[in-house]
């Protein structure tokens, strides 16, 4: 039996929603904080200095997204931890990349991921499908939860996330789905603190329909680079956004699918940006193209099951579409050591499937927004 993420049902105003979240995810949140304490300590960074960075994120969010701070404060109260500790979970990419500008380099410790969207014309049911392998620290599999959020003012949301986080991969009741893949460029860690990636993804899902979601992505300032893929099951469309602190490079799908890994692929970004991620994991250069080829050769009647087979590809092991921890020891970015989860989403049907540590387990758990 594999590790199954806990389902947490939430409703109500931000503070009360957060308090309920913190109480229900107390064990998972504390486990995650232990993972990050050990990670930062291993790199010679004191927990007090980590919390000081988190306090800068807090101050930025108070100005930019005050409702998110209310929910995060509620999570801290419910779990009986510090608000800054909850912000470490939400802003660890920002903290890692800012610290990377200091003498010790934690920049190798960031997540990878390979994502795909298959458009309706290539699916069995004629309905868009959105999927991702999330690569990060394997211990985080025990820190994850699935949030089912009921809202009176906006769409309902289903999202898979590290406990204490606001969103990672997920979709809303308007059919909008989002996944994120790590990118690294020369701007990272040098801009003032903006909105953490976890909060940006949540705001995209809270915004409403497709047009509102895209507008929200462009509206929020960023501290670090990230690739975000946003799809809409109701329109059968998707767009990919290679974001940096200063720029957003958008891409439309070609043919019946779109795939992305951890390097800049848009012509404008490849011309303008110093892509620092390739040297940390050059396998990114084949992962997205290989996943696309597997989808193309798999025919034009895809289901979540057929996408799971494509994402289970072991070519290039240990550093392929599925990443395994064995064999990564001693490499430049050994922290990026495993596929924590395979996430499969059919937003039109309100269905999400999670397979944690898929290199070692075939246990898949289904979650529903309906």
Q: Per-residue pLDDT tens for 3-18?
A: 999 999 999 999 999 9
Q: Which two tokens stand for residue 203?
A: 């705001």
| Residue 180: per-residue pLDDT | 97
Q: Per-residue pLDDT tens for 138-178?
A: 999 999 999 999 998 899 999 999 999 999 999 999 999 99
pLDDT in tens, the chain (370 residues): 689 999 999 999 999 999 999 999 999 999 999 999 999 998 888 999 999 999 999 999 999 999 999 999 999 999 999 999 999 999 999 988 775 544 345 445 556 799 999 999 999 999 999 999 999 999 999 999 999 999 988 999 999 999 999 999 999 999 999 999 999 998 887 878 899 999 999 999 999 999 999 999 999 999 999 999 999 999 999 999 999 999 999 999 999 999 999 999 999 999 999 999 898 889 999 999 999 999 999 999 999 999 999 999 999 999 999 999 876 544 444 455 799 999 999 999 999 999 999 999 999 999 999 8
Q: Walk me through the domains of the chain, giving residue ranges and CATH numbers.
A: 9-99 (no CATH), 114-368 (3.60.60.10)
Cα separation, 305 vs 311, whole angstroms: 10
| Residue of 159, 180, 162, 176 whose CA lies nearest to 115 | 180
| Residue 147: per-residue pLDDT | 98
Contact present, 200 and 219 (Cβ < 8 Å) = no
| Residue 112: per-residue pLDDT | 77
| Residue 103: per-residue pLDDT | 39
Q: Which two tokens stand for residue 98?
A: 């800012």
pTM of the model as a whole: 0.95
Cα separation, 239 vs 241, whole angstroms: 7
| Residue 50: per-residue pLDDT | 95
| Residue 108: per-residue pLDDT | 52
| Residue of 164, 145, 135, 161 whose CA lies nearest to 19 | 164
In this structure, which long-range contacts are made by residues 361-366, counting pairs with CB atoms below 8 Å and at least 24 apart in sequence? 361/2, 361/3, 362/2, 363/1, 363/2, 363/3, 363/4, 364/308, 365/4, 365/5
| Residue 285: per-residue pLDDT | 97
| Residue 191: per-residue pLDDT | 77
């Amino acid at each position: 039996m594999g590790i199954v993420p806990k389902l947490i049902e939430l409703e109500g105003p931000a503070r009360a929603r957060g308090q309920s979240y913190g109480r229900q995810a107390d064990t998972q949140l504390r486990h995650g904080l232990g993972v990050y304490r050990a990670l930062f300590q291993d790199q010679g960074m004191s927990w007090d200095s980590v919390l000081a960075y988190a306090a800068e994120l807090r101050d930025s969010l108070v100005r930019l997204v005050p409702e998110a701070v209310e929910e995060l404060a509620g999570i801290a109260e419910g779990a009986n931890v510090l608000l800054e500790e909850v912000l470490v979970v939400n802003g660890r990419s920002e903290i890692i990349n800012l610290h990377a500008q200091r003498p010790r380099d934690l920049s190798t410790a960031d997540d990878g991921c390979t994502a795909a969207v298959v458009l309706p014309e290539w699916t069995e049911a004629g309905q868009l499908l959105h999927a991702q392998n999330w690569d990060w620290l394997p211990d985080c599999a025990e820190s994850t939860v699935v949030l089912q959020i009921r809202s009176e003012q906006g769409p309902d949301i289903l999202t898979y996330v590290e406990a204490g986080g606001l969103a990672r991969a997920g979709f809303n009741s308007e059919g909008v789905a989002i996944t994120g893949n790590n990118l690294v460029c020369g701007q990272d860690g040098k801009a003032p603190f903006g909105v953490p990636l976890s909060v940006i993804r949540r705001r995209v899902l809270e915004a409403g329909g497709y047009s509102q979601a895209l507008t929200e992505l462009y509206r929020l300032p960023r501290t670090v680079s990230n690739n975000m893929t946003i799809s809409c099951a109701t329109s059968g469309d998707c767009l990919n956004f290679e974001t940096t602190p200063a720029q957003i490079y958008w891409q439309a799908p070609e043919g019946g699918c779109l795939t992305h890994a951890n390097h800049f692929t848009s012509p404008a970004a490849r011309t303008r940006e110093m892509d620092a991620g390739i040297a940390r994991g050059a396998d990114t250069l084949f992962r997205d193209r290989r996943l696309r080829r597997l989808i193309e050769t798999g025919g034009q009647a895809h289901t979540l099951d057929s996408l799971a087979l494509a994402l289970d590809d072991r070519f290039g092991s240990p550093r392929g579409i599925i990443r395994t921890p064995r064999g990564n020891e001693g490499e430049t970015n050994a922290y990026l050591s495993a596929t924590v989860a395979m996430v499969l989403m059919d937003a039109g049907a309100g269905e999400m499937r999670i397979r944690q540590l898929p290199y070692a387990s075939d246990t898949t758990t289904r979650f529903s927004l309906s």
